[in-house]
């Protein structure tokens, strides 16, 4: 039997990465599916009357081995993939989709769940049990259990196709990212680029046996070049390459995949009795309806657009005065924004980076978590890693009890997709009286150390680390009974609250002084720089808000429309969606949808608005901390008890009100963003 099909005989039952071979996965999946199927059969074959325990609870704890295996495999497919793993993913995904359909379309199982559901008012269920029962019933009714046989068959076909299309979409984006290199041989072409970025580009070239410097589409390479490089023509070349990912009409093109995914999701929703995919998705979100999302985005648009247009006009004027730029293009935005920011605030990332050595920032976020939530973090070397760059920690409470195992993976590499995310290798749950603790991971793409410098983070990378660590805390501090309600298993427009609220500590003097020390001198970041960070926090907030709104509107245009049959051009559809948020001239060679992995590969379809939605929650929540003190233990305990530990055990607005004492209002966000008077 494969190592993947048995309980791991490892410290803390962690994944035995070094012992797993690629060829182990497919047989292990087949075996785990077989086991999970037997567990389902045992529930339906039970001769006793259906009860919450023998049906709903039994279902939630079924397939544990399969869930664990899926977590390991698909996490590696994002963080440490290769052609072999991608091929296995294409084989495995339809099998998992088919098995998932076998459960939700299992009539005998649904009948048992329906029996318990219909008797729910007679049962003495806890809030968590009632939530689980409701969730399980809906997972059947919302996924075809009430359909006729021919419609069930079509649903299976759609789900199988979607699982493969989404994988192919992501593979194409990763391949396009890896395929592009800008090879620079003249040092003059690097004018303006900070020394650290130049050194990293030189090291990358060396690693590929090339002279000169290499710039890629990986964020730590791409962002500094777009922000600092004086050579406008090369910035243009790089920006067009980034925007043209999977939009070139070749074998890596995603245009047809985008249209197919959107149409199949729409057909699936209509099969299930919903007007659109967005109507289907949003029924299980705080927002509830596409109309409410549109109203929310339009309300923010109304407040942000005048500010964004003012900021853009100021930026255009500045670029014209500085360099005679007649038409400000997308490849000019970051460059002139940085120059204007330096002029207005006498502040740039190069001044700040020496104070944000990666190891210090990690220590800082750990210290903040310790002060707020009484956690201890100890680096350990006795558990397996999937790559040598990964750091591993044991997280305990003040009594030394295990809270979580924590993996952190910070640097870009070829087998890793761009961006930053938090994920789970094993969820928390309580079974047979034992509180089984979670294994949590964060994955980022930060600037690697060079021969002469450690990894020094930009301020944006600092906030990214805090953001992902906020998600990690949500997973680590989970304290629920059932795995499907644990940690980040919450409504999608609530999941960003813990991550976004933690970003606020990056701007607070009391927090910064804990970790922002100069990597060479050890000096604490000067108060003057802290003041500048705070003063510049709302710089171009109007433009940033407009950008996020535009992504939300694009998402809703693909998933909330009933007229997808009329779409013949992905680009034309996108331009229409961006109509009211457009600032820069369009770039003909570029298209966002073809690499918009959040909505076409990840879980954000009909949910991209949730970043702004959660910002309303986080601004309101952080005002509470500010009122009492950013390290106030009482407020922190309320946040831990009512939000971080509760997972999806209750309605998110109920949880939020228990913490805050009232519903959130958007004014806190608008005040923080400088879009209304404080």
Distance CA 215, CA 207 (A): 13
C-alpha dihedral sign at 669, 673, 675, 678: positive
What Rg, from alpha-carbon coordinates, does the chain have? Answer: 25
Distance CA 534, CA 643 (A): 27
First to last CA, the chain: 64
Q: How many residues does the chain have?
A: 678
Write down the number of H helices and E strands in the chain.
27, 9
Residue labelled with tokens 């759609």: 158
Question: What is the residue-wise DSSP string for 422-473?
Answer: EEEEE--EEETTEEEPPEEEEE--PPPP-SS---B--HHHHHHHHHHHHHHH
Helix H segments across 324-400?
Answer: 330-345, 349-352, 358-373
Distance CA 71, CA 79 (A): 12
**8 Å CB contact between 315 and 336:** yes
Distance CA 430, CA 479 (A): 8
Question: What does DSSP assign to residue 357?
Answer: B
Query: What is the token pair recorded at 197?
Result: 């970025």
**8 Å CB contact between 606 and 277:** yes
Nearest CA among 329, 177, 181 for reference residue 254: 177
Helix H segments across 244-289?
Answer: 255-271, 277-282
Helix (H), strand (E), coil (C) string for 69-90: HHHHHHHHHHHCCCHHHHHHHH
Nearest CA among 394, 387, 356 for reference residue 506: 356
Q: Which residues contact residue 42 at a Cβ distance below 8 angstroms, ignoring those fewer than 6 apart?
A: 58
Is 579 in the active site?
A: no
Distance CA 639, CA 644 (A): 6
Residue labelled with tokens 């003495």: 124
Nearest CA among 446, 675, 419, 630 for reference residue 539: 675
Nearest CA among 127, 275, 246 for reference residue 646: 127
Nearest CA among 615, 575, 609 for reference residue 592: 575
**8 Å CB contact between 202 and 311:** no
Query: What is the token pair recorded at 511?
Result: 């927090």
311, 338, 468, 541: which is the annotated catalytic residue? 468
**8 Å CB contact between 116 and 133:** yes
Distance CA 277, CA 269 (A): 5
Question: What does DSSP assign to residue 655?
Answer: H
Distance CA 109, CA 36 (A): 14
Question: Active-site positions?
Answer: 468
């Amino acid at each position: 039997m494969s190592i993947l099909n048995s309980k791991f005989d490892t410290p803390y039952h962690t994944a035995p990465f070094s012992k797993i071979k690629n060829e182990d996965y497919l047989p292990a999946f087949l075996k785990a599916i077989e086991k999970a199927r037997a567990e389902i059969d045992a529930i339906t074959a039970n001769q006793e009357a259906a009860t919450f325990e023998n049906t709903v609870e039994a279902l939630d704890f079924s397939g544990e081995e399969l869930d664990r295996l899926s977590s390991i495999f698909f996490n590696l497919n994002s963080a440490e993939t290769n052609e072999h793993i991608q091929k296995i993913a294409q084989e495995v995904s339809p099998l998992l989709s088919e098995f998932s359909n076998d459960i939700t379309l299992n009539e005998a199982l649904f009948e048992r769940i329906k029996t318990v559901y219909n008797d729910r008012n007679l049962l003495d269920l806890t809030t968590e049990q009632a939530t689980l029962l409701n969730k399980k019933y809906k997972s059947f009714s919302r996924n075809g259990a009430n359909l006729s046989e021919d419609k069930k068959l079509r649903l299976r076909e759609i789900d199988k196709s979607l699982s493969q299309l989404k994988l192919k979409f992501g593979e194409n984006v990763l391949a396009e990212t890896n395929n592009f290199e800008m090879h620079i041989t003249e040092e003059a072409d690097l004018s303006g680029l900070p020394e650290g970025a130049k050194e990293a580009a030189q090291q990358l070239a060396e690693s590929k046996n090339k002279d000169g410097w290499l710039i890629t589409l990986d964020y730590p390479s791409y962002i500094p070049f777009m922000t600092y490089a004086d050579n406008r023509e090369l910035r243009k070349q790089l920006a067009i390459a980034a925007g043209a990912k999977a939009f070139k009409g070749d074998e890596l093109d995603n245009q047809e995949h985008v249209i197919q995914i959107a149409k199949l999701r729409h057909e699936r929703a209509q099969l299930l009795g919903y007007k659109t995919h967005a109507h289907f998705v949003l029924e299980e979100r705080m927002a509830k309806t596409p109309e409410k999302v549109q109203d929310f985005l339009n309300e923010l648009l109304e407040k942000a657009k005048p500010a964004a247009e003012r900021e853009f006009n100021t930026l255009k004027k500045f670029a014209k005065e500085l360099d005679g730029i007649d038409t400000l293009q997308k490849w000019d935005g970051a460059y002139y924004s940085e120059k204007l920011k330096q002029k207005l605030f006498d502040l740039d990332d190069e001044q700040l980076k020496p104070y944000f050595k990666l190891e210090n920032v990690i220590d800082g976020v750990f210290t903040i978590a310790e002060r707020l939530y009484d956690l201890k973090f100890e680096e350990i070397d006795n558990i397996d890693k999937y790559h040598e760059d990964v750091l591993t920690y044991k997280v305990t409470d003040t009594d030394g009890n295990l809270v979580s195992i924590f993996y952190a993976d910070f640097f870009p590499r070829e087998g890793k997709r761009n961006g930053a995310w938090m994920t789970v290798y094993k969820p928390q749950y309580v079974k047979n009286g034992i509180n089984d603790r979670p294994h949590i991971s964060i994955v980022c793409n930060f600037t690697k150390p060079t021969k002469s410098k450690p990894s020094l983070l930009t301020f944006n990378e600092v906030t990214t680390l805090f953001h992902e660590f906020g998600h990690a805390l949500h997973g680590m501090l989970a304290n629920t009974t059932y795995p499907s309600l644990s940690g980040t298993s919450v409504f999608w427009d609530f999941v960003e609250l813990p991550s976004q609220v933690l970003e606020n500590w990056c701007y607070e003097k009391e927090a910064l002084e804990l970790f922002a020390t100069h990597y060479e001198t050890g000096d604490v970041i000067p108060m003057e720089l802290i003041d500048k960070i705070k003063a510049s926090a709302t710089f171009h907030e109007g433009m940033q808000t407009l950008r996020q709104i535009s992504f939300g509107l694009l998402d809703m245009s693909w998933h909330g429309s009933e007229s997808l049959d009329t779409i013949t051009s992905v680009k034309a559809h996108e331009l229409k969606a961006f109509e009211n948020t457009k600032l820069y001239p369009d770039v003909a060679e570029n298209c966002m949808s073809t690499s918009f992995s959040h909505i076409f590969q990840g879980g954000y379809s009909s949910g991209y608005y949730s970043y702004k939605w959660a910002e309303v929650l986080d601004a309101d929540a952080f005002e509470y901390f500010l009122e009492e003190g950013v390290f106030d233990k009482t407020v922190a305990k309320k946040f831990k008890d009512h939000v971080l530990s509760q997972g999806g055990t209750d309605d998110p607005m109920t949880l939020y009100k228990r913490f805050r004492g009232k519903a959130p209002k958007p004014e806190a966000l608008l005040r923080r963003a400088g879009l209304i008077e404080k």
